[in-house]
């Protein structure tokens, strides 16, 4: 199992799940947001007790009999997370995992570790990585090899990102050993002020002897909390101007669902916690980033006009625009810093002949508006946001365009693929 991390980048696959259309932006603009996204618990009376890390040596005593878990390559003796966020979205998330290796497959899963971060916005600090014997005797107190590197852009549909990767190889990991890892993931400069989201899975694919998740937030904050299949009581405490939410459980076993059953029907306990932002806050933020990106220079106007000049109907015009942007503008994402969220100017996309999903959608919207048509940007999650109450820009990984239908609703167009041309969405209903 890899450490928890935030995925970035854009994908061309669309799986429509649910649509939210938000109004009230400046100038009457609309933005369609497609949210397609131990002991038994006891009362803790002091602030330091709530957030105190669990001592490793107390967990080593939980070593299991491998014969009782013969179906698993490893078990978690401890899966612990303590997250602290402030009102401006800055925060520190500390994780501590101790696993017992039961099979060779467990060695493969834990001998290599990887963490990612975005310089200037997030950073990762590995507190320790230890390999031990079941009795706690030290085998290795640090990784054998470590490396910091960039993420290379793929040759096909490349994404150039400023995300850095920390890679570690642990020596001495073998069947019967323990791996003890602790790290922190710090958000130093959120892209949207006040934005944060943290997810925790209590029921994982492998047994966990102890699971604990602590959220430390300002007492004045009203966070959005989503609990799914949580069958144990949460502990809430307030002190020092902070409020602490604690979920802890022991002896958590994996659950299995039927092959074709929806994920939501499988009783895996999980918790998500997000800021008190509203979707209108996200809409206004993106609108501010993109508001000056819908104009075309005389040169761009001439190119757009040349693309649609021979088309006889509005449908033909839209099909020509879609085909041009989807096929002739090569997909390349330059997701460096804020450019991972802010679209490029249409002229830059046309001249370079490349752009990512938001660049292509912005070019389409600008061209449509030049032709007297109405189109809006749409932010979505290509895998489907499962809880629209958890407001965060991290819910999105893709951008498309939307055009209102005369009969009501919208026609959605993905400008990164020609697999779903306008005809597929019933473009004629807009003529």
Between 37-46, 134-143, 322-331, the lowest mean confidence (pLDDT) is in 37-46
Distance CA(159)–CA(167), nearest Å, equals 20
Specify the 3-state DSSP secondary structure of 402. strand
* SS3 of 128-183: EEEEECCCCCEEECCCCEEEEEECCCCCCCCEEECCEEEEEECCCCCCCCEEEEEE
More confident residue, 90 or 9: 90
User: What are the start and end residues of each CATH 2.60.40.3140 domain in the chain?
Assistant: 40-276
For the domain covering 284-430, report its CATH number: 3.10.620.30
Phi, psi of 79 (to 5 degrees): -130, 105
**Cβ–Cβ < 8 Å for 319, 341:** no
pLDDT at residue 14, as a whole number: 29
- CA-nearest of 326, 343, 325, 324 to 334 is 343
For the domain covering 40-276, report its CATH number: 2.60.40.3140
Q: How many CB atoms lie within 10 A of CB 416?
A: 27
Question: What percent of the chain is predicted at pLDDT more than 90?
Answer: 74
**Cβ–Cβ < 8 Å for 333, 159:** yes
Distance CA(244)–CA(214), nearest Å, equals 7
More confident residue, 425 or 116: 116
- CA-nearest of 317, 326, 314, 355 to 419 is 326
pLDDT at residue 187, as a whole number: 97
pLDDT bin (cut points 50, 70, 90) of residue 19 is: very low
Residues in the chain: 431
Between 160-174, 179-193, 324-338, 381-395, the lowest mean confidence (pLDDT) is in 381-395
Specify the 3-state DSSP secondary structure of 60. helix
CA dist 354 → 26, 295, 319, 324, 390 (Å): 30, 18, 19, 12, 33
pLDDT at residue 383, as a whole number: 81
| pLDDT per position as a tens digit, 55-88 | 888 999 999 999 999 999 999 999 999 999 999 9
Token pair in block for residue 135: 């009795």
Distance CA(416)–CA(410), nearest Å, equals 18
* CA end-to-end span of the chain: 51
b/e per residue, 342-377, with b = 16+ CB within 10 A? bbbbbbebbeeebbbbbbbbbbbbbbbebeebebbb
* Residues pairing with 187 in the sheet: 91, 122
User: What are the start and end residues of each CATH 3.10.620.30 domain in the chain?
Assistant: 284-430
| pLDDT per position as a tens digit, 212-256 | 999 999 999 999 999 999 999 999 999 999 999 999 999 999 998
Question: What percent of the chain is predicted at pLDDT more than 70?
Answer: 83
Distance CA(290)–CA(161), nearest Å, equals 20
Specify the 3-state DSSP secondary structure of 222. coil
- The average confidence (pLDDT) of the chain is 86
pLDDT at residue 48, as a whole number: 57
| pLDDT per position as a tens digit, 80-99 | 999 999 999 999 999 999 99
Phi, psi of 306 (to 5 degrees): -70, -30
pLDDT at residue 52, as a whole number: 77
CB under 8 Å to 34, separation ≥6 — which residues?
16, 17, 18, 19, 20, 378, 379, 380, 381, 400, 412
CA 6 to chain centre: 4
């Amino acid at each position: 199992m890899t450490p928890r991390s935030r995925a970035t980048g854009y994908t061309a696959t669309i799986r429509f799940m649910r649509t939210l259309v938000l109004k009230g932006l400046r100038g009457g603009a609309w933005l369609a947001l497609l949210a397609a996204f131990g002991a038994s618990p006891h009362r803790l009376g002091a602030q330091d007790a709530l957030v105190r890390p669990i001592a490793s040596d107390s967990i080593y005593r939980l070593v299991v009999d491998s014969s009782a878990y013969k179906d698993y390559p490893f078990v978690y003796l401890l899966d612990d997370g303590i997250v602290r966020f402030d009102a401006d979205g800055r925060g520190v998330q500390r994780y501590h995992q101790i696993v017992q290796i039961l099979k060779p497959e467990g060695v493969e899963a834990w001998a290599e570790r990887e963490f990612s971060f975005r310089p200037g916005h997030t950073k990762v600090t590995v507190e320790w990585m230890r390999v031990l014997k079941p009795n706690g005797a030290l085998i290795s107190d640090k990784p054998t090899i470590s490396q910091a590197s960039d993420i290379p852009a793929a040759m096909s549909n490349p994404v150039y990102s400023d995300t850095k990767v920390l890679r570690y190889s642990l020596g001495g990991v073998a069947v019967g050993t323990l791996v003890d890892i602790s790290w922190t993931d710090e958000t130093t400069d959120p892209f949207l002020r006040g934005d944060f989201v943290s997810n925790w899975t209590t029921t994982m694919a492998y047994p966990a002897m102890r699971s604990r998740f602590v959220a430390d937030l300002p007492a004045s904050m009203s966070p959005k909390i989503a609990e799914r299949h949580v069958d144990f009581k949460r502990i809430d405490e307030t002190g020092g101007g902070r409020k602490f939410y604690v979920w802890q459980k022991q002896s958590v076993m994996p659950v299995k669902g039927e092959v074709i059953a929806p994920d939501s029907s499988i009783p895996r306990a999980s918790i998500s916690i997000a800021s008190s932002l509203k979707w209108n806050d996200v809409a206004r933020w993106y609108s501010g980033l993109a508001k000056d990106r819908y104009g075309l220079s005389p040169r761009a106007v001439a190119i757009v006009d040349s693309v649609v000049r021979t088309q006889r109907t509005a449908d033909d015009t839209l099909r020509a625009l879609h085909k041009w942007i989807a096929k002739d503008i090569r997909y390349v994402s330059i997701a460096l810093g804020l450019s991972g969220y802010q679209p490029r100017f249409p002229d830059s996309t046309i001249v370079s002949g490349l752009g990512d999903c938001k660049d292509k959608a912005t070019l389409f919207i600008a061209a449509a508006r030049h032709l007297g048509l109405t189109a809006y940007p749409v932010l979505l999650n290509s895998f489907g946001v499962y809880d629209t109450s958890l407001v965060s820009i991290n819910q999105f990984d893709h951008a498309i365009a939307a055009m209102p239908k005369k009969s009501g609703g919208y026609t959605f167009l993905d400008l990164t693929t020609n697999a779903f041309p306008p005809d597929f969405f019933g473009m004629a209903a807009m003529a």
